[in-house]
Amino acid sequence: MSRQGTTSRTAITGARIVLADRVVERQALILEGERIVGLAETVPDDCAVEDLRGGWLLPGFIDTQVNGGGDVLFNDMPCIEGIRAIAQAHRRYGTTGLLPTLISDYAPVVDAAIAAGEDALAAGVPGVLGVHIEGPHLNPVKKGIHDAQRFSTVDAAVIARLAAPTTGRRIVTLAPELAPAGSVRALADAGILVCAGHSLADYDQTRAALAEGLCGFTHLFNAMTQFLSREPGMVGAALEDRASHFGLIVDGLHVHPAAMRVALMARGVEGAMLVTDAMPPVGGRSNRFTLMGQDITVGDGGCRGPDGTLAGSALTMAQAVRNTMDMIGCDIVTASRMASGNPARFLRLDKETGTIAPGLRADLVHLDEARLVTATWIGGQREDSRE
C-alpha cells in the first residue's frame, strides 16, 4: 500500500536497495524533492510512501553512447525534438541519463547536434547530460558502419567547434593517430572528454594520447588494434591504464563474454562502463531503418547492414545489466556500478548522480523479481513503465 501526503518527502519501500558496495534489505529510501536524503529502518511520519513490493532499487542507468531510439536516429533529427524522443524511449528501459550520439557526419550536422544538445540542456529535457560526437575524425580502415566519405581531418576549426562551451558534458571520439600533436590536449583542456575509437593507433600512439588527456575508449575491442604478444595495441593500452574508462557493448555479438571477463580482471571493474550503442529500433516500432543511405535490419538481437556489418545495436541498458550478470557472471552490485556509478565518474558527475547516497540526485530505476524495469525516477520524478 502507498501512503499519500502533501509532504515533499517520500519513502520508497519494499525493494532491496543496491548501493555502491552492497545490497540492503528491509530499509526505506527517503527522498526530498529531487534529492536523496538517505536510508531509514522505519518510515518517518512525514513521508508519503511508495511500496515497490519486491525487486531491486538501483541508481538509474547512464548511457554514454546512444545513437537513437523511439524510431529516431540522432543524425536524422539533430534537434531538441529528436533528443527528447530518444531520451524518452530509453527511459522505459531504466536509462535516467544519456548522451545522444552523433555518428560521423558533415560539419553542419555536427554543429546542429551540438546546438541541439545545448537546447535540450537549457530546456531541462529529462535525462539529457550532453552529447557524444563519434567521428567524423576516424580511421577509414576501422570505419565499421560509418560512412568514410563523411570523414575529415582535425584542424583548428574542428577543435574550435568541438571545444565550444557547454553547460553539460561533451564526449568526442576520434582516431588519435590521425589527430595532430596537441589536439587531444587542446580538447581536454577545454573540458571535452576525449575517447579513442575506430582507430589503427598502436600501443605507443595510444599511450601518447593518454598523456595528452585521452580519458576513454569507445566500445572496447571493436574497431581498434587488438592485444597481441609483441604489439599490445590500443586494447593493451586501455587495459593497462588505471585512469581511463572503456565502454562495453554486452549484447553477446560485439564482444565474447570471455574477452569481457578478462578485461575486467585486467583493468578492474572500476574502468568499465556499459553502453548500448543503441539505434532507432530501441523503444520503437520498426525493425528497419536507414543509416547514411544503407538499409539496416534488426535480427538475432543485432542491427546489421547489407553486408552483415554490425550497425550499433538493439540493446537496452536494462538488458545490458541482465547480460552482464548472466553472460559475464557479475553480481547485481557490480553490474550496477558498470551501468551507473562508473559512467557517472567518467562524466565527472559522481558528486551529482550515479549512486544511491545522501545528497545525490534521486535518479533511480526499479527492477522487479524478473529484473524488468517497472519505474524510473529522474530528479525524484517518478514515471512508471513496463519493459
Please check if 335 is assigned to a binding site.
Answer: no
Amino acid identity at 29: L
Measured distance CA(317)–CA(90) in Å, rounded: 8
Q: Is residue 59 helix, strand or coil? A: strand
Question: What is the per-residue pLDDT for 55?
Answer: 98
φ and ψ at residue 128, rounded to 5 degrees:
-85, 125
145-151 long-range Cβ contacts below 8 angstroms, 24+ apart: 145/103, 145/291, 145/292, 145/294, 145/296, 145/305, 145/309, 145/310, 145/311, 145/312, 146/103, 146/104, 146/198, 146/292, 147/104, 147/292, 147/293, 150/104, 150/105, 150/106, 150/292, 151/104
SS3 content of the chain, % helix, strand, coil (to 5): 30, 25, 45
Beta-bridge partner residues of 30: 11, 38
| Residues 178 and 223 placed together within one structural domain of the fold | yes
Question: What is the per-residue pLDDT for 6?
Answer: 53
| Residues 86 and 54 placed together within one structural domain of the fold | no
Write down the number of H helices and E strands in the chain: 10, 24
pLDDT digit string, tens, across residues 5-34: 456 899 999 999 999 999 999 999 999 999
Q: Are strands 373-378 and 272-274 parallel, antiparallel or unpaired?
A: unpaired
Measured distance CA(349)–CA(361) in Å, rounded: 10
Amino acid identity at 179: A
| Residues 228 and 337 placed together within one structural domain of the fold | yes
| Residues 97 and 214 placed together within one structural domain of the fold | yes
| Residues 45 and 148 placed together within one structural domain of the fold | no
Please check if 233 is assigned to a binding site.
Answer: no
Centroid of chain to Cα 348: 13
DSSP 126: T
Please check if 312 is assigned to a binding site.
Answer: yes
The residue segments making up the domain with residue 69 are 60-346
Measured distance CA(129)–CA(197) in Å, rounded: 21
Would you say residue 25 lies in a domain?
Answer: yes
Please check if 134 is assigned to a binding site.
Answer: yes
Measured distance CA(362)–CA(296) in Å, rounded: 37
| Residues 196 and 291 placed together within one structural domain of the fold | yes
Question: What is the per-residue pLDDT for 300?
Answer: 84
Place of cell 526530498: 32
Q: Is 6 exposed, middle or buried (0-12, 13-18, 19+ CB in 10 A)?
A: exposed
Grid coordinates of 103: 555518428
Question: What is the per-residue pLDDT for 8?
Answer: 85
Q: Which of 63, 147, 241, 277 is catalytic?
A: 277
| Residues 183 and 231 placed together within one structural domain of the fold | yes
Would you say residue 106 lies in a domain?
Answer: yes
Question: What is the per-residue pLDDT for 301?
Answer: 81
| Residues 195 and 251 placed together within one structural domain of the fold | yes
Question: What is the per-residue pLDDT for 1?
Answer: 40
Would you say residue 3 lies in a domain?
Answer: no
Would you say residue 21 lies in a domain?
Answer: yes
pTM of the model: 0.97
pLDDT, the chain, mean: 96
Number of other CB atoms surrounding residue 182 within 10 Å: 11
Tell me, what CATH number does 262's domain have? 3.20.20.140
Give me the mean pLDDT over the 326-334 stretch. Answer: 98
| Residues 207 and 274 placed together within one structural domain of the fold | yes
pLDDT digit string, tens, across residues 369-380: 999 999 999 999
Please check if 310 is assigned to a binding site.
Answer: yes
Please check if 230 is assigned to a binding site.
Answer: yes
- When pLDDT is cut at 50, 70 and 90, the band that residue 122 belongs to is very high
Please check if 238 is assigned to a binding site.
Answer: no
| Residues 89 and 36 placed together within one structural domain of the fold | no
Q: Is residue 131 helix, strand or coil? A: strand
| Residues 339 and 359 placed together within one structural domain of the fold | no
Would you say residue 17 lies in a domain?
Answer: yes
Would you say residue 78 lies in a domain?
Answer: yes
> Distance between the two ends of the chain, CA-based, in angstroms?
23
Number of other CB atoms surrounding residue 148 within 10 Å: 17
Specify whether the CB–CB gap between 290 and 71 falls below 8 A: no
Measured distance CA(208)–CA(216) in Å, rounded: 13
Please check if 12 is assigned to a binding site.
Answer: no
Please check if 219 is assigned to a binding site.
Answer: yes
Percent of the chain with pLDDT over 70: 98
Please check if 198 is assigned to a binding site.
Answer: yes
pLDDT digit string, tens, across residues 225-237: 999 999 999 999 9
Would you say residue 117 lies in a domain?
Answer: yes
- When pLDDT is cut at 50, 70 and 90, the band that residue 199 belongs to is very high
Count structural domains, the chain: 2
Please check if 323 is assigned to a binding site.
Answer: no
Strands (E), 83-134: 95-103, 130-134
| Residues 153 and 225 placed together within one structural domain of the fold | yes
Tell me, what CATH number does 365's domain have? 2.30.40.10
Measured distance CA(282)–CA(8) in Å, rounded: 34
Measured distance CA(175)–CA(137) in Å, rounded: 6
Per the annotation, the verdict on 76 as an active-site residue is no
Would you say residue 1 lies in a domain?
Answer: no
